[in-house]
Amino acid sequence: MAGFRTLDDVNVAGKTVLVRVDLNVPMKDGRVTDDLRISRILPTLHELSRKGARVVVLSHFGRPDGKPVPEMSLKPVAAALATALGSSIAFADDCVGDVAKQAIGKLKPGGVVLLENTRFHAGEEKNDPALAKQMAALGDIFVNDAFSCAHRAHVSTEALAHLLPAYAGRNMEVELQHLEAALIAPEKPVAALIGGAKVSTKLELLGNLLGKVDKIIIGGGMANTFLFAQGREVGKSLCEKNLADTARDILRDAVARGCSIILPDDVVVARELKAGAPSKVVPAERVPADQMILDIGPVAAARLGTVLADCKTLVWNGPLGAFETPPFDAGTVTVARTAAALTASGRLLSVAGGGDTVAALRHAGVAEEFSYVSTAGGAFLEWLEGKALPGVAALAAPQPAAA
């Protein structure tokens, strides 16, 4: 991996290692409802433990806004982490100061302690040097295994990498390897499938992708804005009419750069977004005035199958329709399964991530069949936008001397 060091480059035996992970996991009634992020950090935690490090786990949880909020304690997550690790772990009620020091002091080599939510301190999100100094004083080495937090320049994601010898954890490494394979040095042709509700949230991303991929497939609510920009009526559909000019600029830029933008040929419409609502398929230029577009149609889904069959690499972000409300999941499910089948036959490298995407692929039953599914939401989007992620950049910065 270019530019920074990994766990292959350090001897952690007997060292106290601060490991930033992302335990910002979905919870309901005190239980973790999706353990993808937990399962992805196990290789790093097991490796550090096996090699005899004292493992000090740091994470945020939710957005407590710089003060302790009991509902945002990481304590319930500690139980889930211990189960996943297959060994008991300690928990400390603070991520700095005496409470943290004492808990770390009790660790044996190989032992693991999870510290309380880093965002309980206002300095965390401000990347405050004083808090950074306090946190850095707890350990000898910093390992960042939280790609999904790398778009945040916070103490535990950024500042620590300048104060301690810093290394990428295994999860960070794997995320970056796959993202590089998908966009930095991909096998061509490359398609980006970009769905989701609004063009306004994906303008930068589309601008960046135009220069990098051969085809951009647009679906979801944002396709409506493009259809409208091309002079089509979209009835009651979600549509950002004020962005019609911007959408036309994007379409023009795409032509200039030799990137084809693919919009749905046909769409599924209904009077309301409701499970089982009566719906019909119409050509994209014949959306009735009293109806809304809620999915791509079967002709569009079949065409996307052909497009993907001609590509070697796919980056997928966002659903193609209102997939949480059947029958408007059909387009997303069909195309996701096509991508999974092409991946299984070795013809396509498929990388997905961001927001609703994992949920959509799970719904289609193919999340395990993609080449790689990122655990990142916002960080995946910023990466697609071509932005430098502070958490990654800090790992590549000149390092303090080894402890």
Taking the complex as a whole, the smallest distance from the CB of residue 377 to ligand 3PG amounts, in Å, to 4
- Is residue 354 packed enough to be buried (19+ CB in 10 Å), middle (13-18) or exposed (0-12)? buried
Q: Which of residues 10-49 bind ligand 3PG (CB under 6 A)?
A: 22, 24
List the one residue from 123, 377, 390, 391 that touches ligand 3PG (CB under 6 A): 377
Which residues on neighbouring strands pair with residue 281, listed in sequence order? 268
Angle at 267 between CA 263 and CA 273, to 5 degrees: 120
For ligand 3PG, the binding residues in 79-118 under the rule CB under 6 A are none
Give the interface size with ligand 3PG as a residue count (CB under 6 A).
8
Stretch that binds ligand 3PG, among 145-153, 182-190, 213-221, 395-403 (CB under 6 A): 145-153
- CA 128, CA 106: separation in Å to the nearest integer? 28
- Please report whether residue 152 would count as binding ligand 3PG according to CB under 6 A: yes
From residue 356 to residue 395, the character string flagging contacts with Mg ion as x (rule: CB under 5 A) and all else as - is ---------------------xx-----------------
Enzyme catalytic residues = 37, 198, 355, 378
User: CA 393, 394, 400, 402 torsion: positive or negative?
Assistant: negative
Listed residue (5, 22, 56) closest to 147, CA to CA: 22
Here the tokens at position 106 are: 């009790």
- Closest to ligand 3PG by CB, 339 vs 395, is 395
Helix, strand and coil content of the chain, in percent to the nearest 5, comes to 40, 15, 40
Instruction: Look at residues 293, 291, 316, 303 and name the one whose alpha carbon lies nearest to residue 265.
Output: 303
Q: Considering the rule CB under 6 A, would residue 63 count as an interface residue with ligand 3PG?
A: yes
With contact defined as beta carbons under 8 Å apart, do 231 and 263 qualify?
Answer: no
Candidates 149, 193, 194, 197; binder of ligand 3PG (CB under 6 A) is: 149
The reply to whether 353 sits near Mg ion by the rule CB under 5 A is: no
Smallest distance, Å, CB 160 to ligand 3PG?
16
Q: Please tell me whether 119 is known to bind a ligand.
A: yes
* Residues 34-63 interacting with Mg ion (rule: CB under 5 A): none
Q: Which of 49, 118, 148, 156 binds ligand 3PG (CB under 6 A)?
A: 148
Q: Residue 148 touches which of Mg ion, ligand 3PG, none (CB < 5 to 8 A by kind)?
A: ligand 3PG
Q: What is the CA radius of gyration of the chain?
A: 23
- In order of 4, 13, 53, 168, 171, the CA distances from 43 in angstroms are 19, 16, 14, 12, 8
Which residues of this chain interact with Mg ion, rule CB under 5 A?
377-378
